[in-house]
Amino acid sequence: MEHSDPDLKILLGLINRTFNDTDLLYFVSFLHHHYTIYDSLEDAFLNGGMFISIEKSLISFEQAFSIILTHLHVPGSMWQLLPATLPASG
């Protein structure tokens, strides 16, 4: 997950029905933060280190994503990549 701001510029303008470039920059930030703590993305899906069910695994991932993003500082330089019409954070 090593990247620099210029690497992220290629993500600008990405649009999917439910996912845009802002969402993708948050997801990259989440992945970067997650992999500094864990060796595998699987850990984000486990409940206390155990698999219980697919439903609980998806809930666990959503909670991990939300908690980390709530406390995660997205570097200001990443926001400079986005169009000026989007709100800046940091």
Which stretches within 1-90 are classed as H helix?
Answer: 5-8, 21-37, 42-45, 54-71, 76-80
Q: What amino acid is encoded at 45 in this protein?
A: F
Q: Write down the pTM of the prediction.
A: 0.63
Cα separation, 86 vs 90, in Å, equals: 13
Residues 48-57: tens digit of each pLDDT: 888 999 999 9
Domain residue extents for the chain? 5-78
Say how many residues make up the chain.
90
Residues 66-86: tens digit of each pLDDT: 877 676 555 555 545 544 444
The whole-number pLDDT of residue 55 equals 92
The whole-number pLDDT of residue 54 equals 92
